Amino acid sequence: MTKFFYRLFFICFVLFLTGCGRTSPRHYTDTDTAMGTVIIQQIYAKEDFTDEVLTCIRRLETESLSKRVEGSEIFDINGEAGKEAEIPLTPEMEEVLSRCLEISENSEGAFDITIGEVVGLWDIDSWAGMSTDNPDSSFRLPAQTELSETLALAGYEKLTLENHGIRVPEGMALDLGAVGKGIALDEILALLQEREVMGAVISVGGSILTYGEKPDKSPWKIAIADPENQGGSIGVLTLTGQCCVSTSGDYERYVEADGVRYHHLIDPATGYPAQSGIRSVTILTKNGFLSDALSTACFVLGEEKGMELAERYGVEALFVREDGSISMTEGMQSYFSLSKPEK
Ligand code: AMP
Ligand code: MG
């Protein structure tokens, strides 16, 4: 009889111990700003990691990627442009820059981080509600000569990346705006993997990370914005586990001058906003850097060449054409479903 009670006690004790670690994950949400954009987080975990994620994005911005923040690595690199000596790079920046150069080569220069001065001439970073119709606006259309002179000093093939250092020619500035949000997704992913996180969906502007699963195991649903209708969507991606989705669209950041709309995706061949026949490109893959870099590159390249580039990298792509019609890689079809037309 005592034996029986000992056993019962032992079983209860084991059940108690295993139960201890099983508090179910809670749903934490946060909306904030960083990297000049909105960060929206939904995390399923036992603890609230949203502050840690935000700190991670802000650190990346101020210590490494922002060309406007004094003391960031890219700010310092740009400050040394024109100097004979090589500028030493952190291993992380060396990796980012060499991956950017590879995308430039493979996109025939449609993607080019050396157009920082051209982006500066357009003053893209301060576009928000600016237009020449607005009397308070400081927007000034860059002169053609000014643009061609500045553009002549850009060009990824003029960068020298060797001996863990870089040489940036006089008159050139690097701009990592096309990859910053994707790099942030990769850092966030590493953070979530280190913590006890069951699932998360985190959007950094136009780039979104899905990770793990929800407590009810239902898939993640990521809406793709309708370029014609701000706030509306053309369709939804149904995803499971770890995915990175980046969209580059002409509606994300633009300015209007004398009835003409100028957007923020510059064609390095002309110095003007790219006119490639599309309004947006969405890239789906597992890596944040790649999804972000390729969405910008594919926008500038347009549907035909963009599709080739996406296939070359083995990522899924979806293009929204100027007339609102859609085209996509074959693999994207299994994730995408059209939004139902409004009645
Ligand atoms: P995204 O929204 O990721 O497509 O990035 C757009 C940002 O990248 C712009 O605001 C510019 O700072 C920068 N950018 C614009 N055009 C290009 C380009 N052709 N190659 C690389 N970066 C670009
Ligand atoms: Mg991008």
Q: Give residue 7's pLDDT.
A: 59
pLDDT band at residue 231 under the 50/70/90 scheme:
confident
Mean pLDDT of 15-29: 68
Which residue has its alpha carbon closest to ligand 1 atom 3? Answer: 178
Q: Give residue 6's pLDDT.
A: 56
Q: What is the DSSP letter of 158?
A: G
pLDDT band at residue 15 under the 50/70/90 scheme:
very low
* 189 CA from centroid of ligand 1 (Å): 23
| Nearest CA among 72, 184, 176, 64 for reference residue 115 | 176
Ligand 1 neighbourhood includes 178 CB (under 6 angstroms): yes
Mean pLDDT of 120-128: 86
Mean pLDDT of 84-97: 96
Q: Is the pLDDT of residue 133 over 80?
A: no
Which residue has its alpha carbon closest to ligand 1 atom 8? Answer: 178
**pTM reported for the whole predicted model:** 0.92
Q: Is the pLDDT of residue 138 over 90?
A: no
Q: Give residue 23's pLDDT.
A: 72
Q: Give residue 212's pLDDT.
A: 98
pLDDT band at residue 126 under the 50/70/90 scheme:
confident
Mean pLDDT of 59-81: 97
Beta-carbon contacts of residue 40 (< 8 Å; ≥ 6 apart): 29, 30, 31, 202, 203
Q: Choose the residue to mutate in 61, 102, 113, 175 for probing ligand 1, maximizing ligand atoms within 8 Å of C-beta.
A: 175
Which ranges of 225-326 does DSSP label H, i.e. alpha helix? 288-301, 303-313
Average pLDDT of the chain, as a whole number: 91
Tell me the CA distances in angstroms from 259 to 278, 310, 322, one per residue in order. Answer: 20, 34, 18
* 93 CA from centroid of ligand 1 (Å): 18
For residue 115, the one-letter residue type is: I
| Nearest CA among 275, 306, 293, 264 for reference residue 118 | 264
* 260 CA from centroid of ligand 1 (Å): 20
pLDDT band at residue 59 under the 50/70/90 scheme:
very high
Q: Give residue 12's pLDDT.
A: 42
The string of pLDDT tens digits covering residues 156-196 is 999 999 999 999 999 999 999 999 999 999 999 999 999 99
The string of pLDDT tens digits covering residues 279-319 is 999 999 999 999 999 999 999 999 999 999 999 999 999 99
Beta-carbon contacts of residue 300 (< 8 Å; ≥ 6 apart): 107, 110, 111, 265, 266, 267, 268, 274, 276
Mean pLDDT of 37-63: 98
Is residue 324 a contact partner of residue 343, using CB atoms and an 8 Å limit? no
